[in-house]
Amino acid sequence: MINKRLLIKNLLAHNDENSFYDKKRTLNIGQKEGKAKFLKHVCALANSNPKNNSYIVIGVEDEDNFITGVDFFDDSKIQNLINAYLENPPLVSYENIPFPHLPDHLVVGLVTIRPNNGKVCALRKNIWKYYGGAVYIREGSISMPKNFGIELKDINSKIVASIENHAQNNIELTLDGVFDFMNKRKDFHPSYKVFKEYFVVCWAGKTKQIKGETYYSRLDIELINEQVKLFYSELDVVSIRIDKDYFKIIEYMHLGLQDKYQYYPLEEVSISFKDNAGYDMESKLLFKPPQFDKKILYHIYNSNNALLEKLKKGSKLTKNEEKDLLKMPASYLICYFNEFDASMDKLEEAKEYLKIHSKKAYQSYKESMRILRKVKYN
């Protein structure tokens, strides 16, 4: 089994990006430009590596490989995005890899692109300034269009196999990972469980009892063998179910209007461990958008728009407006779920202003966008 943290270190040891891996400071697939560039790189890496995995490392400075980290990116539906925009889409996964020097909410993103069985990958349709039907390959560290004479060549399989072999996990790395997790999260009731005498899952969070059931907030879950952070959220509430073969979580989101809130099931994620040192991870969307009275929503939508205008002008906000600002992202999200399609444009418009004005409001924005990705790409 590959230790993903060690794999990233081995990839970065090849200081320059090349035809089997790319590195990025950030990833923004919430906007057309960022989404288009990501798809272009996936297409190029898939075509340039027909016999081996290829990778994109996210959260690293380009000049000196300094690891700055990115926010935990919970996008289990990224394959749906790939399938929607690419012809002969490769299998793609996004994993969040913790590093000891980073704060809890930051990780290094690792995109793994599986070999594509000799099929030529191409854009299925137009996106941003890239045209449908375009084929890309890697020329050194650059993803370039290829208009004719497309031939998939195996150039990197030996070097990638060597890198992956040198990133294999061992018992020392596993034990170090468990101790690091338990010590770093000692204030959040850390626990662990061993599955199939091989896999080690650690989790920690604030607990509370509701009707005899234990729920977690600020939950952090890691699969130690691979050094992968499986889940992290500062806001949502999560329940955990465990037996000898699986680890299952159900995530709930707190939504409502005018101080009338309740928890809605969002997603169920189940990890099933096998006897052959393998595992499967499945996610199931449970969310059914709450419906509200349209008159109330019009009032809230217009109030949010007025508040956004004050924010853009730099006007001083009242105490009540500061409270409303914290609710703005979730309110726009509810409006969107109730057929106010323009509300997402407004929320995207508010992004930079929220980021500057209020850390809590910006965190609420990121949580709302995370929920939207889950629902949109399901």
Q: Are residues 16 and 120 in the same domain?
A: yes
Q: Are residues 203 and 321 in the same domain?
A: no
pLDDT at 16: 65
Domain enclosing residue 88, as ranges: 4-165
Q: Are residues 53 and 160 in the same domain?
A: yes
Q: Are residues 245 and 371 in the same domain?
A: no
Q: Are residues 229 and 321 in the same domain?
A: no
Average pLDDT, the chain: 92
The mean per-residue pLDDT over the stretch 36-53 comes to: 96
Q: How confident is the model at residue 377 (pLDDT cuts 50, 70, 90)?
A: low
Is the pLDDT score of 368 beyond 60? yes
Is the pLDDT score of 155 beyond 70? yes
- Tens of pLDDT along 55-97? 999 999 988 889 999 999 876 678 989 999 999 999 999 999 9
The mean per-residue pLDDT over the stretch 27-52 comes to: 93
pLDDT at 261: 87
Q: Are residues 232 and 333 in the same domain?
A: no
Domain end: 246, 268, 285, which one? 285
Q: Are residues 254 and 300 in the same domain?
A: no
- DSSP letter for each residue of 250-297: EEEEEEEETTEEEEEEEEEEEEEE-TTS-EEEEEEE--------HHHH
pLDDT at 202: 97
Is the pLDDT score of 260 beyond 90? no
Of 13, 34, 12, 32, the residue nearest 23 (C-alpha):
12
pLDDT at 15: 59
CA–CA distance from 341 to each of 136, 289, 336, 338 (Å)?
Answer: 34, 14, 5, 8
Q: Are residues 87 and 216 in the same domain?
A: no
pLDDT at 353: 95
Phi/psi region, residue 116 (left: phi>0; alpha: psi -120 to 50; beta: rest), is alpha
Task: State how many domains the chain has.
Answer: 3
- Say which residue, 254 or 68, is predicted with more confidence: 68
Q: Are residues 206 and 131 in the same domain?
A: no
Which CATH number characterizes residue 107's domain?
3.30.950
Q: Is 226 in contact with 1 (CB distance < 8 Å)?
A: yes
Q: Are residues 156 and 32 in the same domain?
A: yes
Domain end: 143, 165, 187, which one? 165
Q: Are residues 262 and 317 in the same domain?
A: no
- Tens of pLDDT along 313-349? 999 999 999 999 999 999 999 999 999 999 999 999 9
Q: Are residues 149 and 175 in the same domain?
A: no
- Tens of pLDDT along 181-225? 999 999 999 999 999 999 999 999 999 888 888 899 989 999 999
Domain end: 145, 165, 185, which one? 165
Sign (positive or negative) of CA dihedral 62, 229, 177, 105: positive
CA atoms of 172 and 113, how far apart (whole Å): 28
